[in-house]
Amino acid sequence: MSANKLNGALLLLLAGVFLGGCAHSSAPEGFLLTAENEQEDAFGGWIELEIYSSSERVLEGELIAVDGDSLFVLEKPRGWKLVALHGTDVREATLRGYDPQTGKYSKWTLLGTLSTASHGFGLMLLTAPVWIIGGSTATAAQSHIADFEYRDGDVVDMRKFARFPAGMPEGLKRSKLRPR
């Protein structure tokens, strides 16, 4: 196998590993900020909820508040309408608190893999897979670092990721809520 064909095969393998191991968020482009910027932001995290019902409905949007045993979500598919849910209606929830910036890890892995071409063909057979495996593992782990999983109505811990962590403010005009 020629060196060009081997390089192409390694890059194809690398791309396949990246696509298979990274978490994907349905949040709109630009909704999730970096961890540093999210601390200075007054908006809630992005939440995807599986609801107990006959239709196995999935709800997604910005987490507005957790008040007692109720969740308030500004739901995207409904044109950013506020939806209230009882915690026991939630089968499973994934909350993404911030953008994990996996693109940086992917780029470093790709550059590291490409740099192995300078090692010579024999050594490249050893170092390229190390870059691919190590970098892909780090990228996949990073892609899930901002995800928080909740099951069977355990919604109280979500408060810290809500726009209003102390609950819905009294007198709030709910129809005036707007997304980021």
- Do 161 and 95 meet the contact criterion of CB atoms below 8 Å apart? yes
pLDDT tens for residues 22-60? 555 667 666 666 666 666 677 888 888 888 775 657 888
Domain boundaries, the chain: 31-99+146-165, 102-145
Beta strands in 40-173 (DSSP E): 46-51, 58-67, 70-75, 81-86, 90-96, 147-151
7 pLDDT band, cuts 50/70/90, is: low
Which residue, chain included where needed, has tokens 């870059």? 131
Q: Which two tokens stand for residue 118?
A: 């300078």
Q: Can you give the pLDDT at residue 8? A: 57
Do 158 and 63 touch, CB atoms closer than 8 A? Answer: yes
Residue showing tokens 């949040």: 27
- Which has the closest alpha carbon to 10: 127, 157, 109, 128? 128
- DSSP codes of every residue in 36-62: HHHTT--SPPEEEEEEPSTT--EEEEE
Query: Which pLDDT does position 137 carry in this prediction?
Result: 87
Q: CA-to-CA distance for 16 and 1, rounded, in angstroms?
A: 21
Determine contact, residues 75/61, Cβ cutoff 8 Å.
yes
Dump pLDDT digits (tens) for 104-128. 888 888 888 888 888 777 777 888 8
- Multiple choice CATH, 31-99+146-165, 2.40.50.180, 2.40.30.10, 2.30.30.180, 1.10.10.10: 2.30.30.180
